[in-house]
Chain A
């Protein structure tokens, strides 16, 4: 039986991929990318989960042996920031595209071709 966390994370990735491939509106594609990134981040965190253990902050009563894997949490923190940076950049490019072309439909944004 596959864990519900893995199933959920992978489905989010697939939903995001579907939106990127199928949707015509640029903003919907960017939303799809964001969903995909969230799916990946959830997958990273769930890889490090150990059943029944607590957050990896060592304090009274919680020793190193009672904590979940702390490495994926460091990884996910980095990945979230990177995702946000990409989204911000993509949105600013989308604004320029809308100003210059007057549309967000990707089938009409085709000035570059050779």
Chain B
């Protein structure tokens, strides 16, 4: 098949989102099946793209309107984008199935539309090769995320959404200022050409521009001073949406940050920006773990845990070494699976028992054994117990941090991981060993299957990490090796 069909990754969700009102006019019951169908098709396309990129070893480059970059916008679907388009589509498909059961508030059609656009925005952010296009996809992602946060129409949901919007508004303005500074200095918006020019820009402009971009993306990527919206939004958003936030919306922001940083690696003053990011990332891990310790609401607790894991990824990306980037990508992949599972199961418990307070989890081991087992395995994986997938990625990140002479950062994040173990084990204890009455609840077949699938995936990666580590290394090289990136993009002979 013609590789240009990879543009369907963007086109299909967009077209389908426009068709939702038509479907709704025919029958309201058809909206949710349509959503599941579209996300399943998207997963199929993404799997094909993944296979294509990983077997040929060459990135797929889609040129919009057949204009060669830097004149036209190009989609660069390399190893990283192929892997994450697949993860984004897969998690969206699972959450669409879960939404069928979990979303009862009206209007369902708008929910389906926003979910497709969220998937589109995240895929676009990972795939694009143009920084202004990145900004547009980022805004698609964040505006749909604002709307989905407020979807429940309660006061809390609107409050969380407003916090997110205000921080997101500041962040996107700063990102735009940084972007326009880089444009003013180089006269190009194409990432490959920008990387070519990076060495010759005035170091002050690079530092201020990159600093603003990092600061702007830190809102989306939940880094320390700008992540106050995240726990509120995670708590107030519908359950499937929470899982999607944690599994890929954050990842898209982190990826964009890493991509732009590594594009500019030949610029002078680059290491100062990295140092800033190391400090932000370490603080993120530390603050979030301690905040998670004192939560009474399980969903909020896992939200804080998710933020701290994101800090781990940001730390790995800011080390400036190839092994760090590989480890970061591996952790992104593992974290998407584990947090997808945790938010799915916790959300499912909240749907069945009405709320995710810790009291509802008492004696869950007897009432909903399969779900409780899935939560247990997800928690153990999140702590980083050996035999589970996150063990490997945490070990790699810490090794990379020590190798890059950031032993203090490694020590801080390790200490924080001990705290993480405390609250997860408390949750496991509450579920299995503290009494609590109530009869057994019949578990939903579809949700159980998805949870079981993710559990098996966690165990597979935990026991046989080699294949997945090889995939992560290829994807990491896609970000780190900018020389190869420039060579892959068929730039018109302008300026070079």
**Which residues on A are within 8 Å of B, measured CB to CB?**
13, 16-17, 20, 26, 29-30, 33, 36-37, 39-40, 43-44, 47, 71-72, 75, 78-79, 82, 85-86, 89-90, 93-94, 96-97, 99-101, 109-112, 114
A17–B170 touching, CB < 8 Å: yes
Alpha-carbon distance A13/B162, docked complex (angstroms): 20
A26–B170 touching, CB < 8 Å: no
The residues of B that contact A78 with a CB separation of less than 8 Å are 132, 136
A112–B170 touching, CB < 8 Å: no
Interface of A is mostly: helix
- For residue B320, CB closer than 8 A to chain A, the reply is no
Q: Who on chain B is nearest to A89 by CB?
A: B146
9 contacts between A and B (CB under 8 A): A26-B162, A29-B166, A33-B166, A39-B173, A44-B176, A85-B143, A86-B139, A93-B158, A94-B162
The residues of B that contact A101 with a CB separation of less than 8 Å are 155, 159
A36–B169 touching, CB < 8 Å: yes
B184–A47 touching, CB < 8 Å: yes
A36–B170 touching, CB < 8 Å: yes
B159–A111 touching, CB < 8 Å: yes
The residues of A that contact B236 with a CB separation of less than 8 Å are 112
Select one of A36, A86, A90, A96 contacting B155, CB under 8 A: A96
The residues of B that contact A44 with a CB separation of less than 8 Å are 176, 180
- For residue B83, CB closer than 8 A to chain A, the reply is no
Count: A-B pairs, CB below 8 Å: 103
A20–B166 touching, CB < 8 Å: yes
Give chain B interface residues in 447-493, CB to chain A under 8 Å: none
Known pairs A33-B166, A90-B169, A101-B155 / 12 extra A-B pairs, C-beta < 8 Å = A86-B139, A86-B143, A86-B146, A89-B143, A93-B161, A93-B165, A94-B162, A96-B153, A96-B158, A97-B158, A112-B236, A114-B231
A112–B173 touching, CB < 8 Å: no
The residues of A that contact B143 with a CB separation of less than 8 Å are 82, 85-86, 89
Give chain B interface residues in 180-196, CB to chain A under 8 Å: 180, 183-184, 189
Assuming the A-B contacts A82-B139, A111-B156, A112-B156, are A71 and B189 also in contact, with contact meaning beta carbons closer than 8 angstroms in the complex? Answer: yes
Assuming the A-B contacts A86-B143, A114-B295, A114-B297, are A97 and B162 also in contact, with contact meaning beta carbons closer than 8 angstroms in the complex? Answer: yes
The residues of B that contact A20 with a CB separation of less than 8 Å are 166, 170
B232–A112 touching, CB < 8 Å: yes
Interface residues on B, range: 35 or more
Alpha-carbon distance A108/B174, docked complex (angstroms): 28
Alpha-carbon distance A85/B158, docked complex (angstroms): 16
Output the least CB separation between A38 and chain B (Å): 10
The residues of B that contact A71 with a CB separation of less than 8 Å are 183, 189
Select one of A86, A99, A110 contacting B169, CB under 8 A: A86
Give chain B interface residues in 120-169, CB to chain A under 8 Å: 132, 136, 139, 143, 146-147, 150, 153-162, 165-166, 168-169
Alpha-carbon distance A40/B173, docked complex (angstroms): 7
The residues of B that contact A112 with a CB separation of less than 8 Å are 156, 159-160, 232, 235-236
The residues of B that contact A75 with a CB separation of less than 8 Å are 132, 180
Alpha-carbon distance A39/B131, docked complex (angstroms): 20
Shortest beta-carbon contacts, A-B, top 8: A100-B155, A96-B158, A33-B169, A112-B232, A47-B184, A93-B158, A82-B139, A97-B158
